[in-house]
Amino acid sequence: MFDATLKLNAQVPNTIYRKSVAEVEVQNLAKRYGKLEAVKGITFGINRGEIFGLLGPNGAGKSTVINMMCGYLRPTAGDTYIRNLSVKKKGRAVKYHIGVVPQELALYSDLNALENLTFFAKMYGIPDQQRKKRAEEVLNFVGLYQRRKDTPKHFSGGMQRRLNIAIALMHSPSFLLMDEPTVGVDPQSREHIFATIERLRDQGTTILYTTHYMEEAERLCQRIAIMNEGSIIAIGTLPQLLARLEPERTIQRPRGLQELFIQLTGKTLRD
């Protein structure tokens, strides 16, 4: 199997490493679009093998954070360190460590599922003789092996998204960033996606999962950061977050992140 770690270590000088225990560190990350402060200097860490949820309503800044963390978008200030490696300074090297499942699907509609994967494998420098085997392995992992010869245009939205996840996994990244992977997805594919994420976690992959569905964050994530208007307004494990709920808020409705979000912002997650 392709070993991203070896490749990374071979090309990175010591000077751009930093000392830290977290797999991923986000430090004072900020993005400004003209007058709009889309992300207002946020800081958090993600532990190795953790599913970390970034929960917030539409427009909170989640995609902007993901795009800066993986190097697609240059921050106005701050930086992300993945295994102590600066995304700003060493974006190309970091690329071998991370897999990104963007919100917009990135598939070639004229290539079949297998060909899509081998195409992206080439981009990641996976040796020719390993590409097909790895593509089949990954298709199996996301439950699309039987459909490997079909083109994505014949897939449901959920299957297309699973293929997108497969692409992100081709080079065996240690850190996977997923931007709202279940939006517009049928229930069967949603379950497949959850199962895939849980299996990846069990194998030690670190995952950043953004969503505006609080139930998903509650089900999947070890720790959750709640974002609103470009800031993190609460962070912790689910029990830690729920402990912040004022007692009178839990009498009529079940304790949940929705209730905490209302307490902190005065609005619902889907406003």
At CA 27, angle to CA 17 and CA 11, rounded to 5?
25
Least separation in angstroms between residue 217's CB and ligand ADP is 13
Q: Which of 56, 102 has the CB closer to ligand ADP? A: 56
Least separation in angstroms between residue 167's CB and ligand ADP is 21
Among 8, 12, 26, 38, binds ligand ADP (CB under 6 A): 38
Q: Which residue type occupies 104? A: E
DSSP string, 160-171: HHHHHHHHHHTT
Q: How far, in Å, CA of 198 to CA of 103, rounded?
A: 20
Burial group, residue 82, by CB count within 10 angstroms (0-12, 13-18, 19+): buried
According to the binding rule CB under 6 A, does residue 201 interact with ligand ADP?
A: no
Kind and range of the H or E run holding 128: helix 128-141
Count of positions on this chain that bind ligand ADP (CB under 6 A): 11
Burial group, residue 99, by CB count within 10 angstroms (0-12, 13-18, 19+): buried
Residue with tokens 């993190």: 232
According to the binding rule CB under 6 A, does residue 62 interact with ligand ADP?
A: yes
Q: Which of 58, 140 has the CB closer to ligand ADP? A: 58
Among 41, 45, 49, 59, binds ligand ADP (CB under 6 A): 59
Among 1, 28, 33, 77, binds ligand ADP (CB under 6 A): 33
Part in contact with ligand ADP (CB under 6 A); list of ranges 57-65, 85-93, 183-191, 195-203: 57-65
According to the binding rule CB under 6 A, does residue 36 interact with ligand ADP?
A: yes
Least separation in angstroms between residue 38's CB and ligand ADP is 3
Q: Which of 50, 179 has the CB closer to ligand ADP? A: 179
Q: How far, in Å, CA of 246 to CA of 262, rounded?
A: 11
Least separation in angstroms between residue 92's CB and ligand ADP is 23
Task: For 186, list phi and psi in degrees, rounded to 5.
Answer: -70, 155
For ligand ADP, the binding residues (CB under 6 A) are 33, 36, 38, 56, 58-64
